[in-house]
Amino acid sequence: MQTWDQRLPIYQQLADMLAARLLDGDPPEGEAMPSVRTLASRYLLNPLTVNRALQALGDEGLLENRRGVGLYVMGGARERLRAAERQRFLQTEWPRLRERLRRLGIDAEQLDWEERA
């Protein structure tokens, strides 16, 4: 069961979750998004909240509304999303992470970029 952070609007948290899935290719570009009803049931949310999250993704140019058919992932959405996420990471997360690594005395040679089983 999903737990929601009370500091952010739930629709924004859902939009972020759906964007992360889009970044992973789910659903692929050109394919339909799950319906509002399906998402509302999956995340136990009010359909209006789900609709607002999907609208936010549409406003970012990631989804297109095909009248009478539903919302579809736009071509190039994954790359646009990846570019925006990279920019956000480099501007906000990386400086904090770099400072924390410096404080802890961790240098580049100590970092293992490969996940081990």
Q: What are the beta bridge partners of residue 64?
A: 72
Cα–chain center distance at 114: 23
Average pLDDT over every residue of 87-100: 96
Domains in the chain (CATH in brackets) are: 1-106 (1.10.10.10)
pTM of the model: 0.83
pLDDT interval class at 114 (50, 70, 90): confident
For 20, other C-beta atoms within 10 Å of its C-beta total 12
pLDDT tens string 14-53: 999 999 999 999 999 999 999 999 999 999 999 999 999 9
